[in-house]
């Protein structure tokens, strides 16, 4: 019995150690929480699952769903509550079937031109509640909220509350939205859960593995629900696929890449990426950020090496273009690397950040490699979100906020200097001497 008790004690001691790898001593690792199923609590004729996304320089796409097949695809909007004047736009609609599931009518309406940094009030379909959003600024500063692998658990709700508690201009989501995984009603539930946030600030998303939803022969190409529900401005950036695109906002060029579509050197995505980055004027647009789902750098046992083939294909393109930072999801933990290229620290490589810790139902990825690789600066398996505030053409501040239940604790931060202002890495567009700070890369 004594021997059995000793072994049991050792087992629980080992389990406790694994759960607290790389966590702050005072922090207790959170447990997974239940999935939230959000029901339709409005009349069937009214819009639901409202979310917005950027389209071009001064337009916004408004997307919503109705059960009523005859509802109008129209958005009325103005700068005062309830006063839409003559500002109304008619858009398009779509729907899809997935086995025995039939979606509602999915409406996409692009409105504008809109003034920057301005609050607009709008109504979808000519009835139902009034919503409002604020357009991003046209100049610095601008703040991005970044959260990957959201799902729809109680941790998701907590993360969203923390994001919404402090103002920001738009949200970037590097894949894995609803975790529907072919259970189509979960897409509807997710849309309702995020509506209070996604209807107020633009959400710019890219796909993850949980969006694929391939079924052999019947649905061989995948992404049926994702492409129908989360239409992004791919055509405006000359992309041929909703799975990868780019957009400009307030001096930043953001590239959303597809980890689950072709990316080899002879692929459309690769050719598009080269052309897209070549068009960026670093004087007018000094910052470039990229988002992918499967990380290219990862010291966690979870999904180890899954982004390697894409890294080998595309990393050099991002490196030569002097992309400032790359954000990924997939691994349910937070990890920040130093500036890296080809698996080595490189002062002219991007900062790589894994932020797949939004609140998914699968729990945290707690098994980090030991010892930590020299290029990995900070890592922790906790739920949370990030904030990227670009102050001007030379400096930005990145912070990671641990989701400690009711509190949002900033656990990691970094000052970045843009490559566009660095003579050593980008001499042809440098405007000033590169400066070095203790907490700056």
Q: % helix / strand / coil in the chain, to the nearest 5?
A: 20, 30, 50
CA atoms within 13 A on the CB side of 65: 22
Residue 163: which H helix or E strand, with range?
helix 154-164
Among residues 251, 326, 255, 316, the alpha carbon closest in space to that of 281 is found at 251
* Residue 303 is a catalytic residue: yes
Provide φ and ψ at 428, rounded to 5°: -70, -20
CB 231 within 8 A of CB 108: yes
**How far does CA 237 lie from the centroid of its chain?**
18
Residue 101: which H helix or E strand, with range?
strand 101-102
What's the CA gap between 391 and 134, in Å, rounded?
Answer: 19
Provide φ and ψ at 235, rounded to 5°: -65, -35
CB 392 within 8 A of CB 404: no
Among residues 257, 276, 356, 361, the alpha carbon closest in space to that of 314 is found at 257
Residue 291: which H helix or E strand, with range?
strand 287-291
> Helix or strand or coil: residue 265?
coil
- Among 51, 293, 303, 395, the one annotated catalytic: 303
Active-site positions? 303
């Amino acid at each position: 019995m004594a021997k059995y008790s000793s072994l049991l004690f050792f087992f629980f001691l080992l389990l406790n150690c694994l759960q607290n790898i790389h966590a702050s001593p005072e922090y207790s690792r959170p447990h997974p929480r239940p999935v939230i199923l959000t029901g339709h609590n409005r009349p069937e004729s009214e819009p639901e699952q409202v979310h917005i996304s950027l389209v071009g320089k001064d337009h916004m796409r408004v997307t919503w769903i109705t059960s009523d097949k005859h509802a109008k695809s129209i958005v009325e909007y103005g700068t005062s509550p309830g006063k839409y004047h003559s500002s109304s736009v008619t858009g398009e609609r779509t729907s899809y079937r997935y086995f025995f599931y039939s979606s509602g009518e999915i409406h996409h309406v692009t409105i504008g031109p809109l003034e920057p940094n301005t609050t607009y009030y709008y109504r979808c379909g000519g009835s139902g509640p009034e919503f409002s959003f604020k357009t991003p600024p046209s100049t610095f500063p601008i703040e991005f909220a970044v959260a990957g692998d959201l799902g729809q658990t109680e941790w998701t709700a907590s993360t969203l509350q923390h994001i919404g508690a402090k103002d920001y201009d738009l949200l970037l989501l590097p894949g894995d939205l609803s975790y529907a995984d072919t259970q189509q009603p979960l897409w509807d539930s997710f849309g309702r859960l995020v509506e209070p946030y996604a209807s107020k600030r633009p959400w710019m998303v890219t796909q993850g593995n949980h969006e694929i939803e391939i079924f052999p022969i019947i649905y061989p190409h995948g992404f049926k629900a994702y492409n129908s529900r989360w239409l992004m401005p791919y055509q405006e950036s000359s992309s041929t696929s909703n799975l990868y695109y780019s957009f400009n906002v307030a001096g930043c060029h953001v590239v959303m890449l597809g980890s689950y579509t072709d990316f080899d050197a002879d692929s459309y995505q690769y050719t598009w990426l080269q052309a897209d980055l070549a068009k960026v004027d670093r004087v007018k647009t000094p910052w470039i950020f990229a988002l992918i789902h499967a990380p290219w750098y990862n010291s966690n046992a979870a999904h180890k090496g899954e982004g390697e083939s894409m890294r080998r294909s595309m990393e050099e393109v991002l490196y030569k273009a002097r992309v400032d930072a790359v954000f990924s999801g997939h691994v349910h933990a937070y990890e920040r690397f130093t500036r890296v290229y080809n698996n080595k620290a490189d002062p002219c490589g991007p900062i790589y950040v894994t932020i797949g810790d939004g609140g998914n139902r699968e729990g945290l990825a707690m098994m980090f490699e030991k010892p930590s690789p020299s290029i990995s600066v900070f890592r922790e398996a906790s739920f949370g979100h990030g904030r990227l505030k670009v102050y001007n053409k030379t400096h930005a501040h990145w912070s990671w906020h641990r989701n400690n239940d009711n509190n949002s604790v900033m656990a990691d931060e970094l000052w970045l200097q843009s490559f566009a202002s660095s003579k050593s890495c980008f001499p042809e567009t440098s405007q000033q001497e590169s400066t070095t700070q203790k907490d700056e890369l």
